[in-house]
Structure 1
């Protein structure tokens, strides 16, 4: 099982305040563990334009039709001061290809394109990330903490944030809002 370019969908019983009702996009998955970004937990009062201002990045050729008032996500509980940008190709200096249509970048050069005609067509900015050690995520899945589904770019980039948890579960035919808090094994 390779979960790269998949969603982890928190089960209703998962009550951890960071991961409750979360959808995590898995960016890296190997026998050593997994790394992902929560895509549906916006940080309060922080938008992309605020990040650019903080870093003193002013787009040279600002395209006014490109909105920079999109919220920045809490990507996870680790390195919350570090930025991660999920986007469609092309890649930048520190980009890692997650799938044919998705890249994760941590370098400043992608930020410098935001708000210009050179920015990637789809962008999600997050602070922090989520990580699991070898075997940890698999155990959490066995313990019914998570559902998994192949990632969908519409949910990743376009679905309203409040609907992403529900819509990600619908990808595998589940109405998560009607699920009981605890599931069993068949």
Structure 2
């Protein structure tokens, strides 16, 4: 995959929200993240990095991408879902996948998920192998030191544990509501004002 920017640092599994899903609050003002569901691959004092999972990409297709990168076979034996992972480095691909397969460049996010940003994973998938579940995100969402913590404190995000259905299914239109439902929250009843005791 094109190396247009340095790789974001991936955290150790005990980092604060690493491996969790971020759910944008209904009053999210930034249109890039309105009703978004983001899997946090890293959350440390140095910042945070995540992938938006509910913005599917129609073009390029997986076949188009493999053609651009000269990855065989074409057509591939197996297809991968593509999504717009965020506004940072959106020409760069990140494969979020179950950690039943890892390559030399794979980084373990937690006990069940890994992130790979090398061509190896695309080659293996195209040949019909690779991880059991995966999604290819173009770009990522990034936050500087303390930035995400401030946004959470300002009531911009909720967090919930991740599950494979929300991470990998293709019902993108309902992912945001289903993530809120895991918290037993009705989005119509959410306030954009943070409470402070």
Q: Could you tell me the TM-score, scaled by structure 2's length? A: 0.84
Equivalent residue number for residue 23 of structure 2? 9
Q: CA deviation at 1:150?
A: 1.2
Is there any run of 5+ residues in structure 1 with no aligned partner, and where? none
Task: Give the paired residue count.
Answer: 181
Deviation at 1:15, TM superposition (A): 2.6
Q: Contact (CA 8 Å) 1:61, 1:116: kept in 2 or not?
A: no
The answer for the alignment partner of 1:112 in structure 2 is 123
Report whether the alignment pairs 1:81 with 2:115.
no
Matched residue, 1:149: 160
C-alpha deviation, 1:153, in angstroms: 1.5
More strand by share: 1
- Out of 10-19 and 52-61, give the one that drifted further: 52-61
The answer to which of 95-104 and 110-119 deviates more is: 110-119
SS at match of 1:139: helix
Q: TM-score, normalised by structure 1?
A: 0.89
CA deviation after TM superposition for structure 1 residue 49, in Å = 2.1
Aligned counterparts of 1:162 and 1:184: Cα–Cα separation in 2: 27
Match of 2:113 in 1: 102
2:140 corresponds to: 129
CA contact (8 A) 1:92 1:110 kept: yes
Is the deviation greater in 146-155 or in 36-45? 36-45
Structure 2 residue ranges without an equivalent (≥5): 1-14
Cα distance in 1 for residues equivalent to 2:190 and 2:129: 46
- Residue 163 (structure 1) aligns with: 174
